[in-house]
Structure 1
Amino acid sequence: MSAKPDQPYLLRKHKTEEWIGRGYTTICVMFLIVIIISIVYFVASKGITTFTKDGVSVSEFLFGTRWSPDDNHFGAFPFIYGSFLTSLLAAAIASPLSICAALFMTEIVPTWGKKLLQPVIELLAGIPSVVYGFIGLSILVPVLRDTFPGQGIGVAAGAIVLSIMILPTITSIATDALSSLPRNLKEASYGLGSTRWQTIKGVVLPTVMPSILTGVVLGMARAFGEALAVQMVIGNAPHVPSSLFESASTLTSVITLNMSNTVMGTAQNNALWSMALILLLMTFVFIFVVRLLERRHRL
Structure 2
Amino acid sequence: MNSKLQKQLLKRSKAAKIERLGKGVSFLALMLIVLTVFAIIIFVTSKGLSTFFSNHVNVIDFLTGKNWNPNVTNAKGQPEVGALPMITGSFVVTILSALLATPFAIGTAIFMTEISPQRGARILQPVTELLVGIPSVVYGFIGLTVVVPAVRAVFGGSGFGILSGTFVLFVMILPTVTSMSVDALHSVPRYYREAALALGATQWQTIYKVVLRAATPGMLTAIVFGMARAFGEALAVQMVIGNAALLPTSLVSPASTLTSVLTTGIGNTVMGSMQNNALWSLALVLLIMSLIFNLIIRLIGRRGAITK
TM range, smaller chain: over 0.9
- 1:298 and 2:299 matched: no
Q: C-alpha distance in 2, partners of 1:126/1:237?
A: 30
Q: C-alpha distance in 2, partners of 1:157/1:9?
A: 70
- Scaled by the length of structure 2, what TM-score is found? 0.93
- 1:134 and 2:103 matched: no
Q: SS in structure 2 opposite 1:16?
A: helix
Q: C-alpha distance in 1, partners of 2:8/2:240?
A: 68
Please report how far the alpha carbon of residue 10 of structure 1 lies from its aligned counterpart in structure 2 after TM superposition. Answer: 8.5
Q: SS in structure 2 opposite 1:181?
A: coil
Q: Which residue of 2 aligns with 1:93?
A: 100
Q: Which residue of 1 aligns with 2:181?
A: 174
Instruction: Select the residue among 195, 198, 202 that pairs with 2:202.
Output: 195
Report Cα offsets for 1:178-205 as digits up to 9, x if no partner. 1121111001111111111111110011
Q: Which residue of 1 aligns with 2:4?
A: none
Instruction: Select the residue among 283, 287, 291 that pairs with 2:294.
Output: 287
Report Cα offsets for 1:65-93 as digits up to 9, x if no partner. 01111212100100010001100011001
Please report how far the alpha carbon of residue 9 of structure 1 lies from its aligned counterpart in structure 2 after TM superposition. Answer: 8.1
Q: Which residue of 2 aligns with 1:68?
A: 69
Report Cα offsets for 1:20-76 as digits up to 9, x if no partner. 111111111111111111111100000000000101100011000011112121001
Q: Which residue of 2 aligns with 1:50?
A: 51
- 1:271 and 2:272 matched: no
Q: Which residue of 1 aligns with 2:75?
A: none
Q: SS in structure 1 opposite 2:13?
A: helix
* Large movers: runs of 4+ above 6 Å: none
* Cα contact 2:64–2:83 (8 A) shared by 1: yes
Q: Which residue of 2 aligns with 1:3?
A: none
What RMSD in Å do the two structures reach over aligned CA positions? 1.3
Q: C-alpha distance in 1, partners of 2:294/2:108?
A: 25
Q: C-alpha distance in 1, partners of 2:119/2:68?
A: 53
Q: C-alpha distance in 2, partners of 1:150/1:189?
A: 52
Q: C-alpha distance in 1, partners of 2:115/2:9?
A: 58
How many residues align? The count is 294
Please report how far the alpha carbon of residue 149 of structure 1 lies from its aligned counterpart in structure 2 after TM superposition. Answer: 2.5
Please report how far the alpha carbon of residue 14 of structure 1 lies from its aligned counterpart in structure 2 after TM superposition. Answer: 2.4
Q: Which residue of 1 aligns with 2:33?
A: 32
Q: C-alpha distance in 2, partners of 1:11/1:206?
A: 53
Q: C-alpha distance in 1, partners of 2:274/2:37?
A: 26
Instruction: Select the residue among 123, 145, 152 that pairs with 2:152.
Output: 145
Letter matched to residue 147 of structure 1: V
Q: C-alpha distance in 2, partners of 1:8/1:78?
A: 71
Letter matched to residue 57 of structure 1: N
Q: Which residue of 1 aligns with 2:118?
A: 111
Q: SS in structure 1 opposite 2:16?
A: helix
Q: SS in structure 2 opposite 1:84?
A: helix
Letter matched to residue 133 of structure 1: G
Q: C-alpha distance in 2, partners of 1:24/1:69?
A: 47
Letter matched to residue 54 of structure 2: K
Q: C-alpha distance in 2, partners of 1:178/1:70?
A: 52
Q: C-alpha distance in 1, partners of 2:56/2:136?
A: 37
Instruction: Select the residue among 241, 263, 266 that pairs with 1:259.
Output: 266
Q: Which residue of 2 aligns with 1:17?
A: 18
Q: C-alpha distance in 1, partners of 2:190/2:11?
A: 45
Q: C-alpha distance in 2, partners of 1:197/1:74?
A: 53
Letter matched to residue 289 of structure 2: M
- Scaled by the length of structure 1, what TM-score is found? 0.96
Q: C-alpha distance in 2, partners of 1:151/1:10?
A: 77
After TM superposition, the structure 1 = structure 2 runs for residues 213-232 of structure 1, keeping only pairs within 5 Å, are: 213-232=220-239
Instruction: Select the residue among 227, 240, 250 that pairs with 1:243.
Output: 250
Q: SS in structure 2 opposite 1:214?
A: helix
Please report how far the alpha carbon of residue 15 of structure 1 lies from its aligned counterpart in structure 2 after TM superposition. Answer: 2.0
Letter matched to residue 58 of structure 1: V
Q: Which residue of 1 aligns with 2:3?
A: none
Q: Which runs of 5+ in 1 are unaligned?
A: 1-5
